[in-house]
């Protein structure tokens, strides 16, 4: 798990370095965000009478490049998310928990208002890259799902030129529900959604002068 985390972190750092470049630089209006997230809610439920819900929590790391068109932002991002939880709210702890890691390319459209508030919507392809289950449990097949996101955030200026502080919340809803479909019974997922709260930094991207 640690090796995968460092691979994702290295990829985000590479994006950061590339956006800064190595030659003479000039600031653009495009904005890059690097974010750490907490996931207080990740829930899914089977479409079966009397089914209980899986309720997990976790954390995330994300990077996003936003093309700025007069405060209309088109964002292209990548997120790594690690979720952990019990089977139907049981009291198992530590090694007996479910641990799932997802990698999600993301696209969003956001409107930024005066004062730093922004609101928007997005889509993402969420892919299960790693799964650990309690003893006796069955690992889920690795599949990709299409999610839609509602976005609300606020960015504020910092003492450093071209650098911002960022707070953001996202509500995600699974449209395709391929992941965690029961392989043996064929039971389908009724609903699957999550909430992610981010803190991070943003900075104006640069371009090289030739």
Over its length of 210 residues, how does the chain's per-residue pLDDT go in tens digits? 555 555 555 555 555 555 444 444 566 789 999 999 999 999 988 878 777 788 899 999 999 999 999 889 999 999 999 999 876 444 445 556 788 999 999 999 999 998 899 999 999 999 999 988 877 667 777 899 999 999 999 999 888 877 899 999 999 999 999 888 876 677 888 899 999 999 999 998 876 554
Q: Pick from 91, 59, 66, 63: which is nearest to 77 by CA? A: 63
Number of domains in the chain: 1
Domain of 34, CATH number, reads 2.40.160.20
Helix, strand, coil percent content, the chain, rounded in steps of 5 = 10, 60, 30
pTM of the model: 0.81
Sign of torsion, CA 178 180 185 190? Answer: negative
Q: Pick from 164, 59, 62: which is nearest to 117 by CA? A: 164
Per-residue tokens: 107: 């696209």
φ/ψ of residue 173, rounded to 5: -135, 130
Range of the domain at 61: 2-208
Sequence-separated (6 or more) residues with CB below 8 Å from residue 194: 39, 41, 42, 43, 171, 172
**Other Cβ atoms closer than 10 A to 74:** 16
Per-residue tokens: 123: 């889509």
Q: Pick from 121, 118, 138, 142: which is nearest to 130 by CA? A: 142
What SS3 state is found at 52?
coil
Q: Pick from 42, 57, 79: which is nearest to 174 by CA? A: 42
């Amino acid at each position: 798990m640690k090796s995968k985390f460092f691979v994702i972190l290295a990829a985000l750092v590479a994006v950061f370095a590339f956006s800064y470049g190595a030659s003479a630089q000039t600031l653009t209006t495009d904005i890059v965000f690097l974010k750490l997230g907490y996931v207080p809610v990740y829930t899914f439920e089977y479409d079966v009478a009397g089914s209980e819900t899986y309720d997990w929590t976790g954390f995330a790391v994300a990077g996003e490049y936003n093309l700025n068109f007069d405060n209309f932002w088109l964002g292209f991002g990548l997120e790594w998310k690690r979720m952990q939880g019990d089977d139907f709210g049981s009291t198992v702890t530590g090694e007996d928990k479910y641990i799932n890691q997802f990698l999600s390319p993301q696209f969003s459209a956001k409107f930024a208002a005066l004062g730093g508030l922004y609101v928007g919507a997005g889509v993402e392809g969420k892919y299960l890259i790693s799964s650990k289950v309690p003893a006796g449990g069955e690992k889920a097949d690795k599949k990709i799902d299409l999610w839609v996101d509602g976005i609300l955030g606020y960015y504020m200026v910092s003492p450093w030129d071209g650098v911002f502080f960022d707070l953001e919340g996202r509500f995600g809803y699974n449209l395709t529900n391929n992941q965690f479909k029961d392989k043996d019974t064929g039971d389908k997922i009724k609903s699957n959604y999550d909430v992610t709260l981010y803190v991070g930094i943003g900075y104006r991207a640069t371009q090289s002068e030739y």
